[in-house]
Structure 1
Amino acid sequence: MGNSFLQTLGIEQGIAQNWDEYVSWGIRFGKDIALRDKIRQHLVQSKRRENPAPLWNPRQFARDMYDLFTNL
């Protein structure tokens, strides 16, 4: 589920394919202030009203799902 959230927001950092990668990302996030700041800024940008990421735009998500279901 976390992977889906990150992908929806366009964030690749933190996506792990196995337990070792997951632990490595956790350590990196704990130590790398610049990385945390970069991701924080990305999250702020993703919430901008003029072009929100799908995760922050439930109306558009609902419209997209409706269109998907009606076109099956």
Structure 2
Amino acid sequence: MDVKTYQARDLNKNIVASRKKKAIERLRQELGISVDQPKPGYGSTNSRNTARIFFRDPLLTSAITELNES
């Protein structure tokens, strides 16, 4: 990870925002799920079903989010 602080400030905010946007777009394209977006009348898209899809393939998920799988 490029930013290793709890709270991103100034220049790091742009890095974190672009990385988050890229991860959300790849999750939508490769796994077909929407994350961190409100659904009208339903609340958040972060649900149990999203988690099931998200963790079905831990290698792919770790590659998309650029995080270590363990």
Q: Which has the higher contact order (CA 8 A, sep 6+)?
A: 1
More helix by share: 1
More strand by share: 2
Q: TM-score, normalised by structure 1?
A: 0.34
Structure with greater Cα Rg: 1
Q: TM-score, normalised by structure 2?
A: 0.35
